[in-house]
Structure 1
Amino acid sequence: MISTFKCRVLSFSVAIACLGGAQGIVMAADNLPVATVTAAASAKLPAGMQFVRSVEGIDEYRLRNGLRVLLVPDASKPTTTVNITYRVGSRHENYGETGMAHLLEHLMFKGSKAHPRLWEEMSQRGVNFNGTTWLDRTNYYETFAAKQETLAWAIAMEADRMVNSRISGDDLKTEFSVVRNEMEKNENSSVGMLMQRVVSSAFQWHHYGKDTIGARTDIENVSIPRLQAFWRKYYQPDNATLVIAGAFDAASVLQQVSQHFGRIPAPKRVIETTYTLDPAQDGERDVTVRRVGDTQAIAALYHTVPAAHADYAATEALALILGDSPNGRLYKALVETKKTVDVFPWAASLEEPGFLLLGANLRNGQDIADAKKILLETIESFTIHPVTEAELLRAQSRLDADIGQIFNDPEKLAVALSDSVAAGDWRLFFLFRDRVKALTVADVQRVATTWLKSSNRTSGSFIPEEKPDRVPAPAKANVAQELRQFKPGAAMAQAENFDSSPDNIDQRTQTGVLENGLKYALLPKTTRGNTVVMHFNLHLGDEQSLKGRSVAGELAAMMLNRGTEKLTHQQLTEELDKLKAKVLIAGSASSVMVTVETIRDHFPAVLELVRDSLRQPAFAEAEFRQVINGQLAQLEESRKEPQALAIDKAQQLLNIWPKDDPRYHQSIDEQIAALTTINLEEVRTFWTDFYGINDDAQAQLAVVGEFDPVALRTQLQRLFGDWKAKTSFHRLRQSYTATVAQELKLITPDKANAFFFGAMDLPLGIQHPDYPALQLGNYLLGGSANSRILNRIRQKDGVSYGGGSYFSAGSLDDVGSFSVAAIYAPENRVKLETGMREEIARALKEGFSKAEVEDGKKSMIQQLQLERSQDAGLASALARNLYLGRNMQFSADMEKKIMALNSAQIREAMNRHILYSKLIRVFAGDFK
């Protein structure tokens, strides 16, 4: 299952974020129809490996020891993803073991028998990696530039850490503080804590009510023998599914999988099937959370069916019908009436009976009791206001677009299949897709009236009733039975094996200029799913014309995707969903950025909508009020957040511009004050005065993927060739002023997590001779997963979940910056600062070893290659190159300069520019 709404709700809550995993029921279901067998599947297999089935281009194999292997080939971009999912998560933890699965996720990165310095090995290879733990499963994945040696290393590494991980007491001592720091970070989210409390109150017996990160006391008191026993029980081949997606040679991969995983013996232990289920809820439940914060939140949860159940697709559709923005019923009942600032849905995709949760955020001053009453009445009103055909079509369009975008990207698909594996079988991903398409109004209405009842709700008080109206007790789903209905579709055609080298990109890219000066770069190539991406930059005004208009400029950009003269916000969103398109418009007073992702056949129609959004926006008063309320809610909440306050204070101190200058940094309080006084006419006037194109420096557009370049040039000329701005554009130059070092402490009451931020400006741009050395030096110091700073504060001292250093330099002006940051527990402030200061001093005094430098070069270059292989990132880079008057050869030359560096050059450059004592240092937290 793709669990789309769970992912959408993450922006509201890190506490309920999908962190990890569960045991699925292993069902062969060999009587299911099978798609055409691919060439890889029909080839001679290594001994001990069995071909199981091929479904829509995905081949499944199984080893004698029970390991399932899925191959998802796609040569359209030169990257490979390796993802392994273990069917174990917080649901499988017993009394005293909560948080154990998540803790093991951390410890599995500490190293294994053959890979004792795992983080360092990953960093050396330029691998993007992570691990997540959730209720039903745990997964680990690596994405890297497609290289045979890196793929062979990743397969061997995952096999080794499956059975040879170093689960030691010494590692636990340092990682415990890191996990606790992560827990405290989650506790800083007010809406996240509310959702966690609602979920825990909803489940009487089932472990879905237990937070994945675990109880603090369990984490603090866990023993190594008990942790190792848990690991040995669940981290075994018969409880795992290995997915390899992207560009690779299938025959070679199967041989390597057989070689490394095949020699692991089948375990003798038995994993017991879980059987605890909650009874039907027999009355409303309510929970109240009181914590420091500036925003309010409400939520309501209803028990529902497992992800494999036939009714789960209707549950996801209901989540959109109720909670989508701006088309959902709750949005119209709460946001448009100014009762709340937003709404959010979460349909939990789980192996056992799950839930549908809907909620909203409110500003202080909005009536929480009134909003909650409307929330509950709207959710439970389907008997009075049945589901409509239009509502269902909108939901199906959105779900279909989400599924398509995942399936078209092998990296996303490899990781998304983890939830389907956890729900019982990876083919549930496709069964869910088919069930969404087959939904009827009657299906969704029946599910709504069955489950969305007050007696099944967690958000009220217990009220005795003489004749309670109860829902049926949820039951497990028989995965094999459900999958008998599934008929695989045709396998997706494979795309070209695209060479992402700078030379090839330059050779393949077509550039030109429209009559009004709009520059374009077009790179047509075949892609998986016929996808195409566009990046469009528009630059506005000059230093004098933009004075005092920063807020109006930011709001003007926000209003562009909230309706046009032809379409309301709702209608525009519906059209984009139908076209399977994602369009983002964002910007400031001086620039606007438009990004588009869709498919070839829909690209021309999407461009027409983008044109209308930019040239004929609606500027509706109701939408404007919603934007203002949403911005105010975010800013008011950030006034109590350590991270937001620390960065805000440092930026204020680094500011060198007067208040009316567009480059001036407005503080959080200044932004709030400005938003409360601005009106819609000011915003509309800004758009009228500045939007358009007058010369070849003002606008740049890049397109990458499947499209007709000849037809596109013609369409671009028609849509934008006559678009003229009233005001000329002259870029805002940046100036350097030496940073005045100082140290500040900001108090944020009742926040369990603290934040450190240090920053200084530098007098250099990317043309400076020291730029390559500083770029690589920062990467080694704190800019990578294997950096000095992260190894110190996380791996050695165990005081921070995450932190590092950051370096940037101007492309056109000689102004750069260096900063350091980290989260930590307030009581660890001294240890955190000591580690930061000592690692910077050590780098300046001793430099980096030859081995560090050589490994860092390889890792950085591989990461740059990986970034070029992503179509969205490539389109952005091409558009930026048009603005700067360069091509990809600039990147190639910079990489050559980095590869030529030695340790002495890096140390000397860093000593010329960086010193801890020159930083503005801000510590924000509750230091009582």
Structure 2
Amino acid sequence: MRIRLLQLTLLSATLLSPCWAVAQTQPAPSANAASATGMLKAIAQVEGITEYRLPNGLRVLLAPDASKPTTTVNITYLVGSRHENYGETGMAHLLEHLVFKGTPTRGNIMQELGKRGMDFNGTTFYDRTNYFQTFPANPDNLKWAIEMEADRMISSFIAKKDLDTEFSVVRNEMESGENNPHMTLWQRMTAAAFDWHNYGKTTIGARTDVENVKIENLQNFYRKYYQPDNAVLLVAGKFDVAATLNLIQQVFGAIPKPNRTLSPTYTQDPAQDGSREVNVRRIGDIQLTAVLYHTAPGSHKDAAAMAALSEVLASTPNGRLHQSLIEKKLAVNVNPWNFDLAERGYVVFMAELNKTQSLQEARKVLLAELEGLQQKPVTEAELKRAKASLLSEIDKTINDPQRLAVQLSESIANGDWRLFFLHRDRIEALTLADLQAAATNYFKESNRTLGQFIPTTTPDRAKFPEPVDVDKLVANYKGKAAATEGEVFDISLANIEKRTQRLTLVSGMKLILTPKKTRGETVSGILTLRFGDQTSLFNQASTAIVTANLLSRGAGDLQRAQISAKLDELKTQLEVSGSGQTVTVRFDSLRKNVPEVLNLIRDILRKPQLSQKEFDLLIQESIAGLESQRSEPNAMGSLAMALALDTYPKGDVRATRTLDESIAALKALKLDQVKQFHSGFYGVSNSEFALVGDFDSAASQAQIGQLFNDWKSPKPYARLKADPKNPKASVIQLEAPDKSNAFFVAGLPVPLQDTNPEFVPLQLANRVLGGGVKSRLFDRLRQKDGLSYGAGSQLSASAFEASGMWAMYAIYAPQNLDKLKTAVSEEMAKFVKDGITAEELADAKRGWQEERKISRAQDRALAAGHVAQTSANRTLAFVEKVDAQIDTVTLAEVNAAIRKFFNPAQFLNVYAGDFAAKNKK
């Protein structure tokens, strides 16, 4: 289950699942720390993370980081789809859903998490199931999370009534995956590649198993695997170590060790002795060709070599497959899926083609690159780039407590959490010989699943290593020095504002700087350029988008591949995006690399190469992306909504276009137009640049001025206002043939600005209606009726004019269309007639405030907030005002706002799905 609710961005017609105080450092726990509990025993310590063990078998990992104002609690159970028996596929995943339904003492846990505004999730895969919550650091939140996890470990309902509704939710999730060509092909390929092993079955399971599983089987599965001796509890971020150890001892230590014994799985497939092929024929708008090779377990040294080979072969834009397939226009996209698993894993290389490209030619090149490494060995430069990219991602993970906590679940599933650091060390030590040996052994015809079976008299089988003794492997492993600690930072608005410098440079650029010490010396930045007006931008929509997307595909003296390699070397993530009147650069880097990153941003914005080669590739990729949306219910419904509510004339940069119009505009666009747009509009006279994190404020200010002060915008800027939209009560029903999942979206324009006194009451009302997992739509459509995996609502409002939008959405099976309509209609009527309750209001207030605190604790989010507030001529005083209003708004104010703005009869309702097939049944 992925509790990442779908978000609707109507304007783009697509569907989208911080701060400083006195520095304090918290010493890493040692063996002595366990003396306070008497029972917890320290087992190992690596790079600031310490493992303890309870007598009942529970393993406990503590990863303190006082510089982060949030805490993450993650529990990993060593059970996944690999442990399921015949007729019980999908059981581990279904159980993951059911443990959110609650316990006798806690009620519905998903609702309780939502009420507290915690960022949470649960995920299931082949070898493990994990659950995590991230929340503002305080003892009460931590105590609740620890006690909740202990409670649902042994006291979850796992009730028949919950299964009756939840199995259809899981089926809806399954249908959503069946709509995805990539997921469908992956499922068919693994089924063909594995004869006996459960890695050949998807985690979500077979439809018939999910629909017919017995509740007694689920209960037995739960009692067998959800026990302390089969779990690893991790606490990361800001917390008191001694107090947390005592709390865990008291809460989890009271759970007895079970009497049963868990037997290890032993099924293994023999080495494959011939090429295999699978073909999937379904309606769609793209073509895919892919190849799968069996590989070693994730704990084996070959896993590091395979990770590097995946980078060398399929990274963008340096990978060999990118150069031989994408740049030569044989495909539009290529990706590696590398599965490091507890037992023998596999790697998939998948290429996406448009309808005009040749599958046969793409497959030929794909295999030639992969299985031709003996004739064309990996070079030293390729290995260096691969290492830099992989190690950069690992460093980012180590410096992010939530990301580290969740990532360690994968290493735990592979045998031990220390494998995460050992894998990094192995990557650092890789040689060309290591990569060549792995490629020679695994990338061979007899070990592939792709096309056809070819008989041979002399089988050439891959040699697999013996099972790894992980305990022996990590017994004396010490790791490296722990990452540098950051300061303890107060995320109150007053403290953030006190730390923040606001400047206007000679160029007109507005600079917002919030320096602070961070773990790993990380820093986040956002630069937004604003340009043009309604007249100068007329008929420039596609040009604006393509220009922004071309900027990082070659700049200064660096080609696209060199920019990518440079960013890996600098351990920097950088994204450039733009449309209409803006182009934005976002980046995350390290203190020591900020000067070089700023120079690179200058080149990307001011000296882009804008080459014909990259222009042609971008146009090809963009058209393929648009074509892929033609038969996707989510994209169809969102676009139909945007078109129906559009008020702008054709040619206006704000106007919504049909897919055909967008494709035609791309085909007609010339590189010279892009160059003219860049030279005619780009400049920093109307721009905002925010930096948050660990950087030298004075030096950065001086460098930014030196890089941009002479870059004035060539054309005048006037912000384009959002015209108010009129409600358009109607129903649009669209056919999406051969799609198992359908999409519902409804929209109501509202005359709302975020300065309106009713903005906060309406946002709180929306949270109750469908703004999270603790909401009426989600509860009705998922928890009660079991109709939808994802459902909800959102309310948008501008900072500049009264042009808001209230939207609702849900995914569902086409045959449940009538039930969905009835449920939504009943909830809308009740929402207007009865309003919300005092309890719902209190929960909404608490959840929203907690989410706002979490957002301020994230450097990237704070930088984005700085830019948004500055563009509206605001400071954090506006945010403080909203916080105060959230606390003081009354129930009467909320219900009055609902009755004033929410009219069910005025919504535009759009339904997209395979309803014709449904009606034939």
Output one character per residue of 1:901-926: Cα deviation in whole Å (capped at 9) or x when no partner. 12221111011111122111100000
- Residue among 727, 732, 749 paired with 1:744: 732
Which residue in 2 is equivalent to 1:858?
Answer: 846
2:286 maps to 1:295: yes
Output one character per residue of 1:181-229: Cα deviation in whole Å (capped at 9) or x when no partner. 0000000001211111111111111110110000011001100101111
| CA–CA separation in structure 1 for the residues paired with 2:678 and 2:155 | 61
Output one character per residue of 1:593-630: Cα deviation in whole Å (capped at 9) or x when no partner. 11010111011101111110000001111111211111
Pairwise mapping of residues 153-302 of structure 1 onto structure 2 (< 5 A)?
A: 153-302=144-293
CA contact (8 A) 1:284 1:455 kept: yes
Give the deviation of 1:484 after TM superposition. Answer: 5.2
2:696 maps to 1:708: yes
Which residue in 1 is equivalent to 2:569?
Answer: 578
CA contact (8 A) 1:305 1:475 kept: no
Output one character per residue of 1:756-788: Cα deviation in whole Å (capped at 9) or x when no partner. 000121112011121111111101111021011
- Residue among 429, 442, 447 paired with 2:433: 442
| CA–CA separation in structure 2 for the residues paired with 1:270 and 1:328 | 47
Give the deviation of 1:840 after TM superposition. Answer: 1.8
Output one character per residue of 1:508-564: Cα deviation in whole Å (capped at 9) or x when no partner. 101111101000111110111110000111111001000000100000000011111
Give the deviation of 1:731 after TM superposition. Answer: 0.3
Which residue in 2 is equivalent to 1:886?
Answer: 874
Which residue in 2 is equivalent to 1:61?
Answer: 52
| CA–CA separation in structure 1 for the residues paired with 2:781 and 2:136 | 29
CA contact (8 A) 1:352 1:477 kept: no
Query: SS of the residue aligned with 2:589?
Result: strand
| CA–CA separation in structure 2 for the residues paired with 1:473 and 1:714 | 57
Give the deviation of 1:790 after TM superposition. Answer: 0.5
CA contact (8 A) 2:237 2:401 kept: yes
CA contact (8 A) 1:79 1:866 kept: yes
Output one character per residue of 1:374-418: Cα deviation in whole Å (capped at 9) or x when no partner. 101110001100111011001000001000011110110011000
Which residue in 2 is equivalent to 1:74?
Answer: 65
| CA–CA separation in structure 2 for the residues paired with 1:195 and 1:574 | 29
Pairwise mapping of residues 329-348 of structure 1 onto structure 2 (< 5 A)?
A: 329-348=320-339
CA contact (8 A) 1:41 1:59 kept: no
Give the deviation of 1:485 after TM superposition. Answer: 7.2
Which residue in 1 is equivalent to 2:662?
Answer: 671
Give the deviation of 1:51 after TM superposition. Answer: 1.2
| CA–CA separation in structure 2 for the residues paired with 1:792 and 1:471 | 52
Which residue in 1 is equivalent to 2:382?
Answer: 391
Query: SS of the residue aligned with 2:455?
Result: coil
* Deviates most, 762-771 or 801-810: 762-771
CA contact (8 A) 2:646 2:725 kept: no
- Residue among 687, 701, 704 paired with 1:699: 687
| CA–CA separation in structure 2 for the residues paired with 1:303 and 1:114 | 46
Which residue in 1 is equivalent to 2:23?
Answer: none
Which residue in 1 is equivalent to 2:820?
Answer: 832
Which residue in 1 is equivalent to 2:753?
Answer: 765
**Pairwise CA RMSD:** 1.4
Which residue in 2 is equivalent to 1:793?
Answer: 781
Output one character per residue of 1:258-311: Cα deviation in whole Å (capped at 9) or x when no partner. 111111100111111111111111010000001110100011011111111011
Moved over 4 A (4+): none
Which residue in 2 is equivalent to 1:723?
Answer: 711
Unaligned runs of 5+ in 2: 6-26, 917-921
Q: Could you state the TM-score of these two structures normalised by the residue count of structure 2? A: 0.96
| CA–CA separation in structure 2 for the residues paired with 1:344 and 1:407 | 25
Q: CA 1:77–1:808 in 2, change beyond 3 Å: closer, same or farther?
A: same
Amino acid in structure 1 at the alignment position of 2:691: V
- Residue among 902, 906, 910 paired with 1:922: 910
| CA–CA separation in structure 2 for the residues paired with 1:779 and 1:637 | 33
| CA–CA separation in structure 1 for the residues paired with 2:542 and 2:89 | 47
| CA–CA separation in structure 1 for the residues paired with 2:876 and 2:768 | 25
Output one character per residue of 1:709-732: Cα deviation in whole Å (capped at 9) or x when no partner. 000011001111111121111100
Query: SS of the residue aligned with 2:746?
Result: strand
CA contact (8 A) 1:565 1:617 kept: yes
- Residue among 382, 393, 405 paired with 1:402: 393
| CA–CA separation in structure 1 for the residues paired with 2:823 and 2:243 | 44
Give the deviation of 1:476 after TM superposition. Answer: 2.4
* Deviates most, 660-669 or 388-397: 660-669
2:632 maps to 1:644: no
Unaligned runs of 5+ in 1: 1-9, 15-35
Query: SS of the residue aligned with 2:52?
Result: strand
- Residue among 615, 631, 643 paired with 1:624: 615
Query: SS of the residue aligned with 1:586?
Result: strand
Which residue in 1 is equivalent to 2:361?
Answer: 370
Amino acid in structure 2 at the alignment position of 1:400: L
Give the deviation of 1:474 after TM superposition. Answer: 4.9
2:109 maps to 1:124: no
| CA–CA separation in structure 2 for the residues paired with 1:681 and 1:256 | 66
| CA–CA separation in structure 2 for the residues paired with 1:462 and 1:481 | 40
Q: CA 1:40–1:660 in 2, change beyond 3 Å: closer, same or farther?
A: farther
Give the deviation of 1:37 after TM superposition. Answer: 6.6
| CA–CA separation in structure 1 for the residues paired with 2:372 and 2:827 | 60
- Residue among 801, 805, 812 paired with 1:813: 801
Give the deviation of 1:830 after TM superposition. Answer: 1.4
Which residue in 2 is equivalent to 1:21?
Answer: none
Query: SS of the residue aligned with 1:298?
Result: strand
- Residue among 483, 493, 501 paired with 2:484: 493
Amino acid in structure 2 at the alignment position of 1:861: Q
Q: Could you state the TM-score of these two structures normalised by the residue count of structure 1? A: 0.95
Output one character per residue of 1:358-385: Cα deviation in whole Å (capped at 9) or x when no partner. 1100000100011011101110001100
Which residue in 2 is equivalent to 1:849?
Answer: 837
CA contact (8 A) 1:40 1:251 kept: no
| CA–CA separation in structure 1 for the residues paired with 2:411 and 2:799 | 45
| CA–CA separation in structure 2 for the residues paired with 1:129 and 1:749 | 35
Which residue in 2 is equivalent to 1:871?
Answer: 859
Output one character per residue of 1:83-120: Cα deviation in whole Å (capped at 9) or x when no partner. 00000000000101100000001001000122112122
CA contact (8 A) 1:304 1:474 kept: no
CA contact (8 A) 1:133 1:212 kept: yes
* Deviates most, 665-674 or 384-393: 665-674
CA contact (8 A) 1:63 1:258 kept: yes
| CA–CA separation in structure 2 for the residues paired with 1:51 and 1:478 | 21
Which residue in 2 is equivalent to 1:25?
Answer: none
Q: CA 1:481–1:44 in 2, change beyond 3 Å: closer, same or farther?
A: closer
2:642 maps to 1:656: no
Give the deviation of 1:39 after TM superposition. Answer: 5.3
CA contact (8 A) 2:315 2:322 kept: yes
Amino acid in structure 1 at the alignment position of 2:640: K
Q: CA 1:76–1:40 in 2, change beyond 3 Å: closer, same or farther?
A: farther
CA contact (8 A) 2:329 2:617 kept: yes
Give the deviation of 1:491 after TM superposition. Answer: 1.8
| CA–CA separation in structure 2 for the residues paired with 1:474 and 1:281 | 15
| CA–CA separation in structure 2 for the residues paired with 1:124 and 1:252 | 25
CA contact (8 A) 2:45 2:51 kept: yes
**Aligned sequence identity (%):** 46
Query: SS of the residue aligned with 2:512?
Result: strand
Query: SS of the residue aligned with 2:140?
Result: helix
Query: SS of the residue aligned with 1:745?
Result: strand
Output one character per residue of 1:691-749: Cα deviation in whole Å (capped at 9) or x when no partner. 0023xxx1001101110000001100111111112111110011213222110100000
Which residue in 2 is equivalent to 1:102?
Answer: 93
Query: SS of the residue aligned with 1:108?
Result: helix
| CA–CA separation in structure 2 for the residues paired with 1:320 and 1:485 | 30
Query: SS of the residue aligned with 1:646?
Result: helix
